[in-house]
Amino acid sequence: ASLQIWAMAANELKTLDREAIARRIRGGSFRGTLLGDISFAPNGQLANRHYVFSVQGQKMVVEKGN
């Protein structure tokens, strides 16, 4: 989803300027990514939780989360 978010920001801003895209991502929200809606804190860290799941023996198991 990181490349998708970068592309969404670049398309919205109509620029490939790295600093402008970084400013858009920091503190911003992006709807409809491969992982759902994603938001970032002003420091650029994820503001919401995401988890990786697998199915083991017909049960969903959380592999990792942030």
Most confident of 23-27, 51-55, 57-61: 23-27
Distances (CA, A) of 14 to 7, 22, 24, 32, 47: 10, 13, 12, 19, 25
Residues 6+ apart with CB under 8 A from 25: 5, 6, 9, 40, 44
Q: Is pLDDT of 66 > 80?
A: no
| pLDDT per residue as tens digits for the range 3-40 | 999 999 999 999 999 999 999 999 999 999 988 899 99
Q: What secondary structure letter does DSSP report for 25?
A: H
Total number of residues shown for the chain = 66
The domain ranges of the chain are: 2-65
Quote the pLDDT of residue 65. Answer: 62
Quote the pTM value: 0.73
Quote the pLDDT of residue 31. Answer: 95
